[in-house]
Structure 1
């Protein structure tokens, strides 16, 4: 008995077919040295290349490693899933999938280009994070975009088991680490706070930090890098990730041991001093952090008192999932050294 012939599957076009097509013009806009390193080009292909796509430039993300190829595959699936949702004009802030290309046997993804400048550009300008008004605008922009996404994609409400899931992931990666048990105790405390409530599952970006947010004319014009996203997940993930990442780099431009300009009591000492400051201390920035988290919780129909438990779970998630081992371990150690509950804002856990 002969085997039935398989249906013909055309080989994807090569990256070179687009990058070096007659009339194409492009520029490399991003590259990295991470384990899942990628190179991102913005290319203006010949007219008519994409009948249903943009007439202007497109973005091509090319993997450098096998791990990067897996990340690109995840992002491709995520963008296709989001593209099927009815998000109206809001959908224009998410890249639209156009094509998968072959890059020496690995997949490269082509998407629409979103207008705007990464929020990280303004963040790292001199004195930006020392000005209350500028920082408040950043939090308002990030929180506003996230609120639209979560309200537009909310599904059924289920009991919040996020912290418990994170604890399992941390156990898988860090069992045996000297700070593992202390971190697990904090995650257990977060789980006790969160699991008594229900939240609607939403689309989750998964890496919602200021480097992935594009700003144009005073609004969020785009959010990129969806490789860690999910079609239906815990919305607290994105809410907390932005706050933690914003605090983490507050001391980036300060010499070790010195006080960070504009933030009385914050010194560049060790890893995560900005996160401890934002979660535990008094000051205008910690006030903004807590306001942002509480406002996000209210949007999700949750008690504002849950902000700290959610922050602990968010730190654990970074420790469990960050692709750089040192970065992940530093978050584990930071989590292990935090109190079970903040002592400065007068709130008490249930």
Structure 2
């Protein structure tokens, strides 16, 4: 292409073209200070802006850093891939990619809006996580949506190499850390349990925690933030991530040293007390956690006894991949301090009062 022809190339649309177009209305709904910080706007553009898209609002995700631009590019590729898959009605719960805009030389992604309230809003309501029925409903919603995704996208079956892959990623990031060797021993134990089994690869969200699930009228109406997703990967990743994240924040509203309301034996004592409680202790919530994990494994055609080994691998994955070093290191140390096998496998069923 000559310099002259380059001069006549149309300028890429910028975020300003959409945010400040005559008649546009918008609101900033999310921002962060993470290494991959992004700002998310919900904007109602002028009618006819997207002839093959929605007539109503769209979401614009704008990067603040170069790392954030990479995350947005990954999410764009993932949403395009999901859009090409046959998800049926489930497709309505995933944002649809519309276009990429220029944001001072970095890519900003525009998608459709999926409606609903983040599950995190209910989670953090006073006493929500102290009520067995409310918690059981959260696990049922998350597990049900996930099973539909896995069924719709199941591909070729293969050996479960997830724990081994996690071990390699942990070695790459944390070799030399005082807790590295102890964490590796636990990941090796998880790999011995999992590697002999086969499971179908599926679409993976990659950050399947309650903050990314939207709820409306008693159902999952949307699942957002697909930047860590995979078109084909281990379905255990999402299954485990939801359970670990749900347990992690159980003590968020409890003073240090105090017992968490509704959970006898759980006190706010250092990082990850809720995860240790959910995986190892006795109580209605640990019972629900194990039931959720065993149910998910059973639907994947796997032995339900694998739930604990999969949980160890899930902790390792967070230690290897979390973008905040302190958060990742805390998960590494938590993993290193857990037993190789659970103290109890829990009951077969749970009665929710």
CA distance in 1 between partners of 2:9 and 2:291 (Å): 53
Partner of 1:111: 111
Q: Is this contact kept in 2: 1:12–1:100, CA < 8 A? A: no
3-state DSSP of counterpart to 2:43:
strand
CA distance in 1 between partners of 2:265 and 2:344 (Å): 14
User: Is structure 2 residue 96 aligned with structure 1 residue 96?
Assistant: yes
Q: 1:1-350 to 2 correspondence within 5 Å?
A: 10-345=10-345
User: Does the C-alpha gap of structure 1 residues 281 and 203 become closer, same or farther in structure 2, counting only changes over 3 Å?
Assistant: same
The TM-score normalised by the length of structure 2 is: 0.96
Q: Is this contact kept in 1: 2:287–2:346, CA < 8 A? A: no
1:10 positional shift: 4.3
CA distance in 2 between partners of 1:194 and 1:7 (Å): 57
1:345 positional shift: 2.4
1:282 positional shift: 0.3
CA distance in 2 between partners of 1:12 and 1:228 (Å): 27
CA distance in 1 between partners of 2:206 and 2:8 (Å): 36
Consecutive unaligned residues of structure 1, counting only runs of 5 or more, are: none
The TM-score normalised by the length of structure 1 is: 0.97
* 1:156-202 Cα shifts (integer Å, max 9, x gaps): 10000100000000000000000000000000000000000001000
* 1:140-171 Cα shifts (integer Å, max 9, x gaps): 00000000000000001000010000000000
User: Does the C-alpha gap of structure 1 residues 293 and 27 become closer, same or farther in structure 2, counting only changes over 3 Å?
Assistant: same
Tell me how many residue pairs correspond in the alignment.
345
1:12 positional shift: 2.3
CA distance in 2 between partners of 1:21 and 1:113 (Å): 19
Q: Is this contact kept in 2: 1:41–1:59, CA < 8 A? A: yes
CA distance in 1 between partners of 2:8 and 2:234 (Å): 40
CA distance in 1 between partners of 2:170 and 2:47 (Å): 49
Consecutive unaligned residues of structure 2, counting only runs of 5 or more, are: 348-353
CA distance in 2 between partners of 1:249 and 1:104 (Å): 37
**What RMSD, in angstroms, separates the aligned Cα atoms of the two structures?**
1.5
